[in-house]
Amino acid sequence: MNKWLAFDLEIFKSIPDGETDWKQHRPLGISCAATLLSDEPQPRLWHAADKSRPMSREEVAALVQYLIDRSTDLFDGYSILTWNGLSFDFDVLAEESGMHAECAALAMNHIDMMFHFFCLKGFPLGLDACAKGCGLPGKTEGMNGAKAPEMWQAGEYDKVLEYVGQDVITTLHVAQTVARQKGFDWVSKKGRTNSIRINEWKPVRECLALPEPDNSWMSEPWPRSKFTEWMK
């Protein structure tokens, strides 16, 4: 049985509507995060003692240390799971904790299911689309990562904590379902049903060694370095 640790975070600062380059607005701060071990029933929620402010460097560093400890064979040996954690969550985590080298190592050794999909197909896919393709409920209705900072700053802490908690539950369930089915279906934006075969989830370092897919049909394909450039 796979020992997995699903991880997700929400940023504190709101990004203007229509803005696609979130990096122009950093530092973003972290309002909250969630972790879920595959052999535990409920997520662990992380946030500042005073929820009206972002998590402090020390509070974020404690989260990083937790991820290190749980993913170290000497301790528990869990494999960390994310959906797009390589280019987002671990990038933000590195800046907010000041533990750049540690976060880069965690990012390279963890399983980013979205990045694995990207390396096979050449384009990204949302967690919600994957979850629904697996026959799972998907993300919290009416919520998304863009709304979370606004809701947090409006004092709707419980709703955002429920959202981030549900995201790690969905992330874990997607990993388990795909591992069992050896793949999944998803519906494209054009309404077409597609399928992909994934025999086992690979960590980022192994995904980077996969053959490049045929993306000759794309006008501006994303390079894999787009996901890892923050590590430099």
Query: Does CATH number 3.30.420.10 belong to domain 4-231?
Result: yes
pLDDT at position 63: 98
Over pLDDT 70: what percentage of the chain? 97
Q: What is the DSSP string of 75-115?
A: TT-PEEEESSIIIIIHHHHHHHHS-HHHHHHHHHHSEEHHH
| Strand-pair partners of 33 | 9, 46
pLDDT at position 135: 87
Over pLDDT 90: what percentage of the chain? 78
pLDDT at position 159: 94
- Check pLDDT > 70 for residue 199: yes
The two tokens of residue 118 are 């990207």
Q: How confident is the model at residue 140 (pLDDT cuts 50, 70, 90)?
A: low
What's the average model confidence in pLDDT over 79-88?
97
pLDDT at position 191: 82
pTM (two decimals): 0.94
Q: What is the DSSP string of 117-166?
A: HHHHHSS---HHHHHHHTT---SPTT--TTHHHHHHHTT-HHHHHHHHHH
pLDDT at position 75: 65
- At residue 230, φ and ψ (nearest 5 deg) are -65, -20
Q: Which amino acid is at 70?
A: R
The two tokens of residue 75 are 């301790």
pLDDT at position 24: 85
For the chain, the structural domain boundaries read 4-231
What's the average model confidence in pLDDT over 38-52?
96
Mean pLDDT estimate for the chain: 93
Tens-place pLDDT, residues 10-34: 999 998 877 777 888 889 999 999 9
- Check pLDDT > 80 for residue 74: no
Look at residue 190 and give its three-state secondary structure.
coil
